[in-house]
Structure 1
Amino acid sequence: MTSDPRIRPTALPDTRARRVIEQLLDGSGVTLNGDAPQDLRIYHPDFFSRVLHQGTLGLGEAYMDGWWECERIDEMAYRLLRHGLGDRAHTPSERLMYRLQSGFFNLQSKARAYIVGEAHYDLGNDLFERMLDPTMCYSCGYWKAADSLYEAQRAKLELACRKLELAPGMRVLDIGCGWGSFAEHAARHHGVEVTGITISREQASLAEERCSGLPVCIELMDYRDLTGRFDRIVSIGMFEHVGHRNYPTYFATVERLLEAEGLFLLHTIGSNHSEISADPWVNRYIFPNGVLPSAMHIASASEPHLLMEDWQNFGPDYDRTLMAWLANVDDHWHEIADRYNERTRRMFRYYLAVCAGAFRARHLQLWQIAFTRDRMARYDAPR
């Protein structure tokens, strides 16, 4: 089956599965084989039964297989989430399986910590270099006064530095340093010494290259193995991989590593609800074993160890960031098309567009949270 938009979509079969899905879509602003940018064009007659039985996993896989097309997947996702289909899109068996797994097993144990690095972050630096901007930030930009993705990412990095009140000579730990974005920026512009850790070999390799000549040390290691003391600690876009069973250990580790008068800045995607769950498609194809924290998760786990000083939410900025990444993928895919198949391209397009729609619908949040160890500290967070 083809998903070429120039080819007419398949006639909709008169099946129970189709009628159920039409009922679910009723009132959402999304129709089947319609002409609006958010409408789904169906190219395979088994699309309906696949989605009905497999939920979001079936929907995402069907897109990767070319069974359906949509001009604006982000707008489709936005409308469906606003219509309340977010919870109903997951089948009972999917929810039960994840609850059983996360209840009996530590899906983010030290033995399993490198799975997401190998599955996603090690996919290929050439791909991420095309998708991201020159800073190689793979997290939400700060668009308050920015007109481009590069400006938004530089603004995010500088915002983090100002919240950490960096001063020359400070020892800074970057938990989940990615491709060295923060480490490079902080060392170059604020004169600090940075230790960055990641669980991705590809990230570590490129981060070392990008930070060459700066007082930056990049280590391939799990955060639970860290030793030493640091004046400042930052974690940008890593906490989503920690897992609810490890939140107490994570904050205890930060407390153990942070100097008495130190500051810690946590930058993470957040969930509106405290239910432990994960989208099955994202869990299988993008971020294995990931789980989003709620405000209650973070507050209760950090309370015994740190004092929360400031909480900023700029979740809507992630919509704009994701759409910029999607535009980069579309504009530059031809440069790497000989190294990645069409299914991978569609996987990334679907992932970025659906997530943009989720942030647009306020289904997801982006938080920056500042902590201190000193209960007597006075702290005013920049904006």
Structure 2
Amino acid sequence: MTDFKKTVDKLFNSADIQINGPRSWDPQINNDLFYARVLSGGSLALGESYMDGWWDCESLDQFGDKLLSARIDKQVKITNPYFLMNVVRAYLFNAQTTKRAYIVGTEHYDIGNHLFSLMLDERMNYSCGYWRMAENLEQAQINKLDLICRKLHLKPGMSVLEIGCGWGSFAKYAAENYGVSVHGVTISKEQVNYAKKSCDGLDVSFELKDYRELKKKYDCIVSIGMFEHVGYKNYKNYMKVVNRCLKDDGLFLLHTIGRNNPGRATDPWINKYIFPNGMSPSSSQICKSIEGLFVIEDWHNFGQDYDPTLMAWNEKFQKNFDKLTELYDERFKRMWEYYLLMCAASFRSRKNHLWQFVLSKKGLKGGYNYKNNSRLNDQKDPLSLQ
């Protein structure tokens, strides 16, 4: 046990983390078996041992930021057989086939609208907000929705396809503020039911459908936080689907989490407990998938905005958890806060990013620019502070 503790001590110290130290980001160990468990199980064991109460940390987000900034995860992966097994599996199998596409809907998005309604903003946006000139989560999410509408050059009467419509927040905002018709698809039954009720009376429709089944053409297409579920084996096919569904003069906006280096497997803990079969793409993987199909008109990185978004979600989750105790136990609470705070750390450490691509099929003559007429009440332009 002493050797295991010394090894973990050495790893953590290299990231300015002190076991049982006095600072808010120093982990407090409650079970001495923690050291052997983490060394043998890597990131999966780190998360599971937190869920089991084997360690605590006052500022889990700061702990994660230091850990990831020092790239300790790469040192552990080298000797972690579970991670290596995941990599081998990713090479051999397509975890995001049509038959498996609905798994994440059932295991994550369908776990309870009540949980998400208490954690997210009032519009139920489950993706990164845009915090320029925003003082709270509500305004950051409105900024994001308006930013997307402007980037797509939306005009009244246009038809828009949303691949991965969530609970209908974008569809409702775009229909109400830009006068467009929106059709959204998702693999979550709970999201479809909620979205239909939320958008009742608007020129909006939703259906439970995998993106590979889409064939109808639209003026514009948008995908917000869905591409992370596509899988690297399917990136090219995904882009081919978008290409066949987009009119020749239309625009496609892809809003996705991105990573610094190409990967074929996601973090084992995230895969097991949060987003089964998910993975974020690298810039080279995205660019390769769009070659021959689209022209990149704009590429915007505001990944640092995911940090305050996730922190705001966690704040609301902690504040409202007493309303969820009949549905979720203490282990779930620790799992969910670990998910939110460690993800915040991944963006703060610049390991992860948030990218918005604007793509056209043939390139826009004269170049691309944002539409000037924002529907935001604030006269100031949130884009001016990029």
Shorter-chain TM band = over 0.9
Distance 2:325 2:83 in 1: 36
8 Å contact kept, 2:297–2:363: no
State the match for 1:209 in structure 2. 197
Q: Which amino acid aligns with 1:379?
A: Y
1:183-198 matches, cutoff 5 A:
183-198=171-186
Deviation of residue 338 (structure 1)?
1.3
* Cα shift at 1:376: 4.4
Which secondary structure state, in structure 2, belongs to the residue aligned with residue 322 of structure 1?
A: helix
> Is residue 82 from structure 1 mapped to residue 39 from structure 2 by the alignment?
no
Instruction: Tell me which of 331, 334, 340 is aligned to 2:322.
Output: 334
Verify: 1:370 aligned to 2:358, yes or no.
Answer: yes
Q: 1:198-238 CA distances to partner (integer Å, 9 max, x unpaired)?
A: 00111111111111111111110100001211000000000
Greater shift after overlay, 196-205 or 92-101? 92-101
SS in structure 1 of the partner of residue 99 of structure 2: helix
Equivalent pair of 1:310/1:381 in contact (CA under 8 Å): no
For residues 165 and 183 of structure 1, do their structure 2 counterparts lie closer, same or farther at Cα, with a shift above 3 Å needed? Answer: same
Cα 1:262/1:341, change in 2 over 3 Å: same
Paired residues, what number? 370
> In the alignment, which of 32, 39, 57 is matched to residue 52 of structure 1?
39
The reply to whether residue 243 of structure 1 matches residue 198 of structure 2 is no
**2-structure distance, mates of 1:96, 1:17:** 21
Q: Is 1:166 the equivalent of 2:154?
A: yes
Distance in 2, matches of 1:356 and 1:163, equals 26
Which of 110, 134, 146 is equivalent to 2:134?
146
Partner of 1:288: 276
Residue in structure 1 matched with residue 7 of structure 2 by the alignment: 20
Q: Which residue of 2 aligns with 1:380?
A: 369
Q: Among residues 340, 344, 347, which one is paired with 2:335 in the alignment?
A: 347
Retained in 1: the 8 A contact 2:186–2:208?
Answer: yes
- CA offsets 1:246-291 (integer angstroms, 9 cap, x no match): 0010000000000010000000000000132311000100001111
Instruction: Give 1:278's aligned residue.
Output: 266
Structure 1: gaps spanning 5 or more residues: 1-13
Deviation at 1:96, TM superposition (A): 2.2
Distance 1:304 1:127, change over 3 A: same
Secondary structure of the 1:179 match is coil
Other-structure match for 1:8:
none
Offset, 1:374: 2.7
Q: Equivalent residue for 2:311?
A: 323
Counterpart check, 1:258 vs 2:246:
yes
Alignment of 1:70 onto 2:57: yes
Match of 2:347 in 1: 359
Aligned equivalents of 1:281, 1:128: Cα separation in 2? 21
Within 1, Cα distance between the matches of 2:84 and 2:72? 18
Q: Which amino acid aligns with 1:321?
A: T
Spell out, residue by residue over 1:88-135, the C-alpha distance to the aligned partner (whole angstroms, 9 max, x if none): 233442332122211111100000000111111011000000110101
SS in 2 for 1:54: helix
RMSD: 1.1
Q: C-alpha distance in 2, partners of 1:349/1:95?
A: 23
Please state if 1:96 is matched with 2:105.
no
**Residue identity matched to 2:10:** Q
Shift of 1:381: 3.6
Distance in structure 2 (CA, Å) of the matches to 1:17 and 1:193: 59
Q: SS in structure 2 opposite 1:112?
A: coil
What displacement does 1:15 show? Answer: 1.6
C-alpha separation between the residues in 1 aligned to 2:370 and 2:298? 6
1:143 alignment partner, SS class: coil
Counterpart secondary structure, 1:57: helix
Aligned partners of 1:191 and 1:375: how far apart in 2?
25
Q: Does 1:156 align with 2:163?
A: no
Other structure's SS at 1:207 match: helix
Q: Provide the C-alpha distance between the structure 2 equivalents of 1:222 and 1:27, rounded to a whole number of angstroms.
A: 45
List per-residue Cα deviations over 1:131-152 (Å, max 9, x = no partner): 1010100000000110000000
CA–CA separation in structure 2 for the residues paired with 1:251 and 1:330: 39
CA contact (8 A) 2:263 2:281 kept: no
Q: 2 CA distance for matches of 1:64 and 1:81?
A: 19
In structure 1, what is the Cα distance between the partners aligned to 2:82 and 2:357? 32
Match in the other structure for 1:4: none
TM-score scaled by structure 2?
A: 0.94
Q: Distance in 1 between matches of 2:195 and 2:177?
A: 17
Q: Deviations over 1:289-333 (max 9, x none)?
A: 111100001111101111111000001000010000010111111
| Aligned match of 1:41 | 28
1:64 and 1:99 mapped to 2: Cα distance? 25
Determine if contact 2:153/2:370 at 8 Å carries over to the other structure: no
| Structure 2: tracts of 5 or more residues without a match | 372-382
